[in-house]
Structure 1
Amino acid sequence: MIRCWGCGLAERLEFYHYCDIYGLLGYTAWQEFWITGDVDGRGVPVSNPNGPLDHDLFTLCARDTVKLLRNHPSLALWVGGNEQVPAPDINNALKDELKLHPHFESLHNTGESVQDVSADSKDPSQYLDGTHIYIQGSMWDGFADGKGDFTDGPYEIQYPESFFKDDFYQHGFNPEVGSVGVPVAATIKATMPPEGWKIPSFKKLPNGFIEEVPNPIWEYHKYIPYSKPGKVHNQILLYGAPADLNDFA
């Protein structure tokens, strides 16, 4: 399953086309509905608690996105926001318009059979989608701890085998795990001055672990090292010491 955490982007039709062909499930998260806890209603002080600015326009765009993508078999579910739920009026509108058709409702949850519902409720044309579950936020409704607490992650280097251990994550479904990565060398050279092209130095500590020391520009942009002294040995040096930026990135 791929989570399309796309920074405000509804992923292109070409993406879903190839997910359909190759049998990948696209997890459409906040990039579909453009809400994120980074800027909408969380933080200290709370940022933009009533965002977005135009709720009607937001809801209109959400409907258009659903119509654009709903028929792709690779689409798995809709999610209202990244680490946040939409404002109450938007969230309620999405819950209402993205409710499941009775044929897709769990009989365990509804307590009624499809035969018990009205003819209008059975009519697929009465549903904006009707076939995909709507989750109000990436840490709600069965994701992470299900309560909206910041219980996703971790966000640092891990040994590759750690991801496959039973005790890696304590909850049922982890919406996101951060590892590490840097842009390719060409991107760094195109977006940073030459002093930002210097790769980290590798400092060996008494305990045998390696501490990476990045240049100030990388430090400012929150570079995450490929080692965690005391827990994870450096994963870059496993391939030998890099000579320069082209070798590193």
Structure 2
Amino acid sequence: MASASVRPVESGWPGTDLVIKVNGVRIAARGGNWGMDDMMKRVSPAHLEPFFRLHRDAHVNIIRNWMGQSTEESFYTLADKYGLMVWNDFWDSTENYNLEAQDPELFLKNARDTILRFRHHPSIVVWCGRNEGVPQEAINDGLAELVRTLDHSRYYTPSSNQLNLRGSGPYLWEPPESYFRINRGFSVELGMPSVPTLESLESFIPPPDRWPISDTWAYHDWHQSEGGRVSFYMDAMDTEFGAPTSLEDFVRKAQMLDYAGHRAIFEGMAAHLWQPNSGRMIWMTQPAWPSTEWNFLSWDYDTQSSFYATEKALEPVHAQLNLNDESVDLINLGEARLFNVRVRVVSLQNKILNDHTYSVEAAADDRTPVTKLDLASLATGHTILVVLDVADGSGPPVSNNFYWWAAKDATLRELDDLPPATIQASATSSAANGKRKASVSLTNSGGSGSPRQAHARRRRNGSADLARILQ
């Protein structure tokens, strides 16, 4: 007998993990966790808005209000404004680690008030009962009933890492290729160190404590043990680029590690988009306190390499090198259309080792394979560069991506032998609607003999003594 409650499963069903849909359209959820708004409780819209704008600029589309830490109307209003979905936790903390709620009735009264207060915000897509675990039965049943009766269009999940979700972590440095193998499905928490810019570090660590790395860094999440230990990170830096010799050298090499790692976190998700990956959220995006781990921007709105890596990996049309098997994919989150993808492999002496352009009919909201490379045979034991350019089928450029690659990590030290680049900078500015916009162009004028390395520091009017431009 036919029943309205039974229907065929849609084709392309990604598996058992959560898939978020808005108005019936599936959304590849890619974003991160937001904890306390600000340790000093600066929660005005004016203070919080730059963080939301930066999330939008990085192509993030979901943020998790971890443990319901933000209770500010401005949080939800800004999420609405910038088109960010909100995964909203209630405040039941880690099971078998923190105390259970002692007054379930009071807990549910607070939950009822929270739902009624914020349910009018379109940004909310998920209500979550507990961080890393499942609430006790009375609370879980009560929350499910509250969401069903008060906000029935939103999804309720009892847990952040169980029941159609992946487990939490990892939180330490991992080889970038590992992100193409782990956390298949919908992963709500994974992260790694994320070192701020040199200027940002100098703004919160006193000069005597900056170098060598001191215990003061531990106040900013640079830990030697437990879940945030940095030993793997430092070992990777030593192997790939050599042990740092100064604070400046450490930050320069950290930006390389952080860019490769954060880009791989999201490219690893895209490499298996919908088969079965449907969501991935880094721990965390926005720090409430000056931090050296688990973020992709600084407490003062500064943006380090992890921000730009996220922005690159999450662009709506994106060609990527899958580090686990050296295949090249085109990710297209828009409608199906024709693109031209140029794949180049270049030596550090600027010799072209491979150069092919592929005409790709990109599927809508999906991953389309382009080609597969054999990088080891091209590299012949050296470091090489992989350059991916995407152009619209009619010609205009759409995206570009760039990798440094070697069969053995230690071979990447060849990058440090590149000659310094001769960089020319130019800037233009314009004013409109009461705002001033500055555009800065950097040009490598050092000739075409070989790739070169460049170091840039942002200054206002060229002075190291004046404030940074952060908003």
Scaled by the length of structure 2, the TM-score of the pair is 0.33
Give the Å deviation of 1:87: 1.6
Q: 1:132 aligns with which of 154, 157, 169?
A: 154
Amino acid aligned to 1:153? G
Q: Does the Cα contact within 8 Å between 2:66 and 2:88 map onto a contact in 1?
A: yes
Give the Å deviation of 1:53: 2.2
- 1:135 and 1:200 map into 2 onto residues whose CA distance is 46
- 2:238 and 2:83 map into 1 onto residues whose CA distance is 35
Give the Å deviation of 1:68: 1.4
- 2:102 and 2:73 map into 1 onto residues whose CA distance is 27
- 1:98 and 1:154 map into 2 onto residues whose CA distance is 31
Larger Rg: 2
Deviations 1:134-169 (A, max 9, x none): 10011122111xxxxxx2211112466765x3x242
Q: 1:200 to 1:225 in 2, by over 3 A?
A: farther
Partner residue in 2 for 1:178: 191
Amino acid aligned to 2:186? F
Q: 2:96 aligns with which of 35, 39, 42?
A: 42
- 2:150 and 2:135 map into 1 onto residues whose CA distance is 18
- Is 1:141 the counterpart of 2:141? The answer is no
Q: Does the Cα contact within 8 Å between 1:52 and 1:58 map onto a contact in 2?
A: yes
- 2:204 and 2:133 map into 1 onto residues whose CA distance is 31
- 1:181 and 1:18 map into 2 onto residues whose CA distance is 25
Structure 2: gaps of 5 or more residues: 1-61, 255-291, 293-471
Structure 1: gaps of 5 or more residues: 100-126, 145-150, 202-213
Q: 1:87 to 1:224 in 2, by over 3 A?
A: same
The DSSP-based 3-state class of the residue aligned with 2:188 is: coil
Q: 1:220 to 1:76 in 2, by over 3 A?
A: same
Q: 1:53 to 1:155 in 2, by over 3 A?
A: same
- 1:11 and 1:200 map into 2 onto residues whose CA distance is 39
The DSSP-based 3-state class of the residue aligned with 1:176 is: strand
Match runs of 1:187-202 below 5 Å: 197-199=209-211, 201=213
Give the Å deviation of 1:217: 7.2
- 1:225 and 1:181 map into 2 onto residues whose CA distance is 11
Name the structure with the higher helix share: 1
Name the structure with the higher strand share: 2
CA RMSD of aligned residues (A): 3.7
Deviations 1:181-210 (A, max 9, x none): 479655566xxxx98x35555xxxxxxxxx
- 1:27 and 1:174 map into 2 onto residues whose CA distance is 13
Q: Does the Cα contact within 8 Å between 2:205 and 2:216 map onto a contact in 1?
A: no
- 1:178 and 1:14 map into 2 onto residues whose CA distance is 26
Q: 1:86 aligns with which of 129, 135, 140?
A: 135
Match runs of 1:53-68 below 5 Å: 53-68=102-117
Partner residue in 2 for 1:27: 87
- 2:125 and 2:153 map into 1 onto residues whose CA distance is 9
- 2:158 and 2:182 map into 1 onto residues whose CA distance is 25
Give the Å deviation of 1:98: 1.4
Match runs of 1:1-249 below 5 Å: 1-6=62-67, 8-29=68-89, 33-37=90-94, 41-43=95-97, 47-48=98-99, 51-99=100-148, 127-144=149-166, 151-158=167-174, 163=179, 165=180, 167-170=181-184, 172-181=185-194, 185=201, 197-199=209-211, 201=213, 215=215, 218=218, 219=223, 224-225=229-230, 227-228=232-233, 232-233=236-237, 242-243=246-247
Partner residue in 1 for 2:300: none
Amino acid aligned to 2:233? K
Deviations 1:55-107 (A, max 9, x none): 221111111111111111111100001102222111111112212xxxxxxxx
Q: Does the Cα contact within 8 Å between 1:98 and 1:128 map onto a contact in 2?
A: yes
- 1:128 and 1:79 map into 2 onto residues whose CA distance is 15
- 1:243 and 1:96 map into 2 onto residues whose CA distance is 54
Give me the identity figure in percent: 28
